[in-house]
A and B are shown apart, each in its own frame.
Chain A
Amino acid sequence: MTLKQVQGDDNKNMNRINQKLQENKKLLSIYFTAGYPNIDDTVRVIKDLEKSGVDMIEIGLPFSDPLADGPTIQASSTAALKNGMTTETLFKQLKDIRQTVTIPLIIMGYFNPVLQYGVEDFCKKCQDIGIDGLILPDLPADVYDEAYKATFEKYGLINVFLITPQTSNERIRYIDSISNGFIYMVSSASTTGAKSGFGNTQTDYFERINSMNLKNPQIVGFGISNNDTFTQATQYAKGAIIGSAFIKHLTHNGITTIDKFVRSIL
């Protein structure tokens, strides 16, 4: 059964991401690295984020060579791997997550760990646990389309693609056509955590994308770190993603004041 059929069936079976995107509000999505600051913090962080009012969570599966990430997320990945985080450990930690957590959960990572686990096994495990989608920045759209789209859809997973200010309109249309959730609109040409705040270049780009009337809503990521940037970004998009700023918060304050961080954004 394809995802479209599922969507048509009834709201209960609809992917949590699509349900969430239908809500009449701007969405806050938070990224954190699984197994950071401590190996057993993963579930606690997820629960606290949900309780604090976050709409969606990206669970980072740490990778040894995270090419698209700046120093903050790199350091958290290195620390998580040192803590002993593995793909299998993450799946074990998340085994019962759906007994309590209801918001959409996305796993974000790099393609090689997924490839080594086995793409189909990985997707099946995600479905068993109740993961709603994946973001794998180094799995290119054309390879996904040709080799993996059918598998992702078989297990009800939404794959989220990135676009940047340099992405051509033609390619954005292509990415929109193979997406069935949202498009991750990278705010500027950078690795994660590199820049903060938006200038005219960004707002022009956001407006350009807006005017394309894509079928998938957009969520802005990279460069959002506080209430100001969140408000700015969500003027042009359905929501915004915060990663590095939250990791910094965990590094400096530990996991006991997550609600304070979320309140400072919303």
Chain B
Amino acid sequence: MKKTYNINNKGYYGEFGGAFIPEMLYPNVEELRQNYLKIMAEPTFQDEFNQLLKDYVGRPSPLYYAKRLSKKYNTKVYLKREDLNHTGAHKVNNTVGQILMAKRLGKTRIIAETGAGQHGVATATVCALMGIECIVYMGEIDIARQAPNVARMKMLGAQVRPALSGSRTLKDATNEAIRDWINNPVDTHYIIGSAIGPHPYPDMVTKFQSIISEEIKWQLKEKEGKEDPEYVVACIGGGSNAAGTYYHFLDNENVGIIAVEAAGKGIHSGESAATSVLGKEGIIHGCKTLLMQTLDGQITEPYSISAGLDYPGVGPLHSHLYKSGRGEFYSATDDEAMTAGLELAQLEGIIPAIETSHALAIFEHKTFKPDDIVVISLSGRGDKDLQNYIDYFKL
């Protein structure tokens, strides 16, 4: 059998993944597991999904040759413009897919967790589109630092419930969403926003996001006469934009896979979210993966200036890419990311989300050859982060 980095039929990527869930969640997760591939393969589902991606999301998103950035770093940089999607990030690819899934499963109530608020907005958006009740859990700290997205969710008719436990960020919002699902097992679908959670979530989210690499292939063929870049680069919190950016290149080892995590104030500063370096194998939110924890198995509180990367784990696919050596993992500090974000604004006229700025900081850590084609996932736009940029640069 050909070597594959993709998921196996038991829901594992190598040793990572699975479904470590309390029995209360078993029927919901099992229902999804039994149906998701079947539903995704239905022609009517695909038609509706593709139509919405085209007419509502605005896909295909451009693959943009960043001339001045390329010149500065003496290599060929393409930006995959997920920031131009409706709602301003890649997150909507997944929520469009999952809302159609939820409808086919007969669900009438949607819950979601959100960190930066991008997934919350993307979920609130598709719920408004379909006329379905929407509840978004968001850490109290994130509510404070992502005020514009909170307002957007409310305007879209969603209820935003603060997660008050633990570090009051993404991890805790996810805990609250899972508890909601336990308490509402029949009518509710949980739209997880990242490539995390119990099987089949990491695989389902990855497949909905795989449109990113599917487009990169044909767009690059048009522009460069070949489908495969030398490298694909993405930032990683839980890892959904990364999973989508890598997906069609996973088993093509000619394409280098690069992940950039959030180092926060420095990997060993005690305020970091660089899971591949600081994490160890364990169980978080229903899957076996690398996560930041104490020796005693208590999950620790991560830190990053970016709310979307402020998560103590990475998706199981990424743990596998790291452990197997298939992926190159780097981490960018707050300062490196902010600087890279400002640089993109001034070289290319694009203000990126702070999450995305971490991916752009790759040039601080790796030198590419002049002929290398480097595709960077520009996962989101920076409007929501304007206040953070203002405070940081005293603009």
A residues apposed to B, CB below 8 Å: 63-65, 67-68, 70-71, 74, 78, 81, 86-88, 110-117, 137-141, 143, 161-164, 166-168, 171, 186, 189-191, 194
Contacts and interface: CB of A to CB of B under 8 A. Distances in A.
A8 B23 CA distance: 31
A114 B231 CA distance: 39
Nearest to B301: A64
Interface stretch (B140-148, B279-287, B356-364): B279-287
B283 A111 contact: yes
A63 B298 CA distance: 6
A78 B299 contact: no
Nearest to A81: B298
A74 B106 CA distance: 32
Contacts of A167: 23, 26-27
Contacts of A191: 24, 179, 182-183
Interface in B296-315: 296-300
Nearest to B283: A112
Interface residues of B, number: 33
B131 interface: no
Contacts of B300: 64
A186 B20 CA distance: 18
Contacts of A67: 22, 175, 178-179, 182, 285
B123 interface: no
B165 interface: yes
Interface of B: 18-24, 26-27, 165-166, 171, 175, 178-179, 182-186, 280, 282-286, 293, 295-300
B298 A137 contact: no
Nearest to A186: B24
Nearest to B24: A164
Contacts of B18: 143
Contacts of A78: 165-166
A65 B166 contact: yes
Nearest to B20: A138
Contact of A64 (B23, B166, B295): B166
Given A67-B22, A116-B293, A140-B21, A166 B179 contact: no
B281 to A, nearest CB: 8
6 contacts: A87-B297, A112-B299, A114-B297, A116-B296, A137-B23, A138-B286
A186 B183 contact: no
B177 to A, nearest CB: 10
